[in-house]
Each structure stands twice: as structure tokens, then as C-alpha cells.
Amino acid sequence: VAPQNTSAPRVPPTTNPALAYTNRTPAKYTPKDFIFGKVIGEGSFGTVYLAKDIHTGKEHAIKVCDKRHIIKEKKTEYVTREKEVLNMLAGAKHSFVRLYCTFQDIDRLYFVLSYAKNGELLPYINKVGSFDIECTKFYSAEILRGLEYLHGLGIIHRDLKPENILLDEKMHVLITDFGCTKILKEPEVPLNENETHVRERKNSFVGTAQYLSPEILTDRNASRSSDLWAFGCIIYQMVAGLPPFRARNDYMIFQKIQKLDYEVPDGFSEMAKSLVEQLLVLDPTQRLGAQDEHGAGYPSIRAHPFFEGVDFETLHEQTPPPIY
Ligand SMILES: Nc1ncnc2c1ncn2[C@@H]1O[C@H](COP(=O)(O)OP(=O)(O)OP(=O)(O)O)[C@@H](O)[C@H]1O
Ligand SMILES: O=C(O)C[C@H](Cc1nc2cc(Cl)cc(Cl)c2[nH]1)c1ccc(Cl)cc1
Ligand SMILES: O=C(O)C[C@H](Cc1nc2cc(Cl)cc(Cl)c2[nH]1)c1ccc(Cl)cc1
């Protein structure tokens, strides 16, 4: 406790909880260091709670996983790997849901994550129908920054879609990777020459198939370029309000993807159309950015006229354009 300054007038200890935070955080957290609030989501592993760190007042999303369930589902490997991935992302100053700390008690594992106060990106696209060009440029640029960082670490997301793009309090992008609710074991994807971190993938056909690239559908061999395809689908969706490959069921969606069967609606911005057309290319090696040198970001995508005027280096300091 700070030494009492005797010369100052005696004031009653504050009753304002905001001033009661010591900001001294414990070396190892326990559940008692948090005030658990409402449930913000039910996952396949456990429950995600809104929680407040009693030392800092900071809000977090805490993913609480039941150990017995993880063991029963034989998913300790997956959970351990997701923890590794999240730890690798800890260096990212932006763009990702971050893992602040982990701890356990007798029955549960606790992942203390950044809290995406404004939820998923998708409802914002649905609410306004489609983004104006300023919003599309800003949010595509923030997602691109995330992909550059992720691919720079040799990590491929493999399941990039609007549901995995969350928004923080200031409406900046926080990429995460919610596993699919049913996680079916899938043969280990072979490590390709430059991929250092193979993430065990759940059966990616569960959940939304609309953003899957042709190569994931056919030979399951994902590469960084698979994320560029998904990136193209998301840009299309921000402009058109709907994903490019739509059909009544997954099988028909797969057909359309493999035949590159999509239309660009009237009124679709020419610049965005040009960028989308260069990302939605069946041959992964021919997608814009696929030839860029690994680990040096995507200069050829940044250079596309669509991103004219975007300052990529200061995105996270900029105020996101209003979505209306
Ligand atoms: N960091 C977060 N901030 C805000 N909301 C979150 C956060 N993490 C999860 N949620 C919410 O909780 C819901 C469930 O999260 P969870 O990650 O468990 O989903 P899941 O798809 O079952 O993933 P997994 O299979 O890996 O558990 C999400 O759909 C999301 O709405
Ligand atoms: O303290 C650490 O970091 C290491 C432990 C390791 C660990 N203990 C486990 C117990 C079970 Cl039942 C399952 C997994 Cl995946 C487990 N992983 C741990 C604790 C909490 C969390 Cl969220 C992850 C891993
Ligand atoms: O918040 C979630 O549900 C996702 C996280 C894991 C997670 N995997 C990721 C992979 C990538 Cl590439 C990026 C982020 Cl931010 C990622 N986050 C997670 C944490 C714990 C467990 Cl048990 C499963 C998944």
C-alpha cells in the first residue's frame, strides 16, 4: 500500500470501485481473481463467460473447459495445440483474440481471452445489407493485416469466415478460430514445405462450407493461399451482402466453388470486383499474393488499387469508419 502522505488532508478511503483496482496482477491466476458474469457463448468444449479481473477491472472472455469432457472426446491434443497457437499470437499487437493467461482447477481449464465486446462481424453486414466502400476497405485491410501476421508465423487459419471475425470495443477486428461444434477427427494434413505449424483440423465441413477453397474440398491440402480464397469471399460478402457461393445445401455449394460459379451483382464496385476476381482463382498458386515472398506480408494485395489510400501501418490506431 502506498505510504500515507501525512501532509495531505485525511480523505475517506474511496468507495469508487474503479479506484479500488491495485493493477498488481498475480503471477499465477486462479478463478478467484475474476468476477464471473453472464454466459456469452456455449462452445463444444465448455462455456464462455464474461468476466472481470478484480485487480485491473479489465473485462475478459473466459473459456471454461471441462477436463472430463476433453479427455472423453480425446481432445487434449487439440486443446494443447490451440493453446500453442494462441501463445504464438500473443506477440500480435492487433487483429487477434489474445490469450492472456491459462489456469486450471480440479475439474476445468480456463482460457482468459480478449473480450470481443461487439461480437461478430457478420451481423453488422446483415444489418446494413452491405458495407460502403470505406468500411469494406477498412475491414478488409484489418483482416489482411491479420493474415499477414498469421502467415508470417507459418500458421494457416483454414477456417476464415465472418463468424470468426470478432469486433472489440472500438470496432477493430479480432480474428479467432471457433472450432466447429462437432469436432470429427480428420487425417493430419501433411506438413507442406513452408508450414511450420500444422493445426489439427476439425472436419471443416461442419458449420459454414461457403468460404472453403477448392483445394480444401478436393485434396484437403490447405496452404496460406486457402486463406486468401476465404479473404476474397469475405470481401465479396461485405460489398454484396451475401457470400459468393450460395446454394440450398453444402453439396451444391461445393459444386459452385469447384466450378467457380458465382456472379458479381450490378452496382458491385469495379475496384472490389477486380480484387475479388484475383483472389477467387481455382489454382491456389495464381491467387493475388500467392507469389509474394513468405513472411514479408502481401505487398501485391496491398498494392491493389482497391486499397488506394489505406495506411496499413496505423490501422489499429485509426478510428474505424461508422457502419451504416
Ligand atoms: N473472445 C470472445 N469474445 C466474445 N465472445 C466470444 C469470445 N469467444 C467466444 N465467444 C462467443 O462464445 C461462443 C462460443 O465460443 P466457442 O469458442 O466455445 O465456440 P465454438 O464454436 O464451440 O468453439 P470451440 O469448438 O473451439 O469451443 C462464440 O460463438 C462467441 O459468440
Ligand atoms: O498450466 C498450463 O498451462 C498447462 C496445463 C496443461 C494441461 N492440463 C490439462 C488437463 C486436461 Cl484434462 C486437458 C488438457 Cl488439454 C490439459 N492441459 C493447462 C492448463 C490450463 C489450460 Cl487452459 C491449458 C493447459
Ligand atoms: O476462442 C476460441 O474458441 C478459439 C481458441 C483457439 C484459437 N485458435 C486460433 C487459431 C487462430 Cl489461427 C487464431 C486464433 Cl485467434 C485462434 N484462437 C480456442 C481456445 C480454447 C479452446 Cl479449448 C479452443 C479454441
CA of 49 to the centre of ligand 1 (A): 9
* Rounded mean pLDDT, 251-267: 96
* Rounded mean pLDDT, 53-65: 96
- Return the best residue to mutate from 44, 106, 109 for the ligand 2 pocket (most ligand atoms within 8 A of CB): 109
* Rounded mean pLDDT, 92-111: 94
- Summarised one tens digit per residue, pLDDT across range 130-152 is 999 999 999 999 999 999 999 99
- Summarised one tens digit per residue, pLDDT across range 297-323 is 999 999 999 999 999 999 999 999 999
Would you tell me how many other CB atoms lie within 10 Å of the CB of residue 310?
17
Choosing from 33, 53, 159, 177, the catalytic residue is 159
CA of 147 to the centre of ligand 1 (A): 20
pLDDT band at 213 (very low <50, low <70, confident <90, very high): very high
Show the CA angle centred on residue 183, arms to residues 179 and 185, nearest 5°.
125
Task: Give burial (CB, 10 Å; 0-12/13-18/19+) of 269.
Answer: middle
The pLDDT score that the predictor gives to residue 36 is: 97
Query: Of the ligands numbered here, which is closest to the C-alpha atom of 95?
Result: 3
* Rounded mean pLDDT, 222-246: 96
- Return the best residue to mutate from 45, 52, 63, 112 for the ligand 1 pocket (most ligand atoms within 8 A of CB): 63
Share of the chain above pLDDT 70, in %: 85
- Residue 7 pLDDT greater than 90, yes or no: no
Average pLDDT of every residue of the chain: 87
* Rounded mean pLDDT, 23-30: 92
Distance of CA 3 to CAs 19, 87, 104, 214, Å?
Answer: 17, 38, 35, 66
- Mark 6-42 as b/e (b = at least 16 C-beta within 10 Å): eeeeeeeeeeeeeeeeeeeeeeebeeebbeeeeebee
Angle between helices 224-240 and 270-279 (to 10 degrees): 150
- Which atom of ligand 1 is the closest one to the Cα of 113? 1
The pLDDT score that the predictor gives to residue 13 is: 52
Angle between helices 224-240 and 133-152 (to 10 degrees): 170
Q: Which of 22-26, 108-112, 264-268 has the lowest mean pLDDT?
A: 22-26
Q: Are 212 and 203 in contact (CB under 8 A)?
A: no
The pLDDT score that the predictor gives to residue 20 is: 79
CA of 162 to the centre of ligand 2 (A): 29
The secondary element (H helix, E strand) that includes residue 257 is: helix 250-258
CA of 174 to the centre of ligand 3 (A): 11
Query: Of the ligands numbered here, which is closest to the C-alpha atom of 108?
Result: 2
Give yes or no: 292 in active site. Answer: no
The pLDDT score that the predictor gives to residue 134 is: 96
The better pLDDT of the pair 264, 186 is held by 264
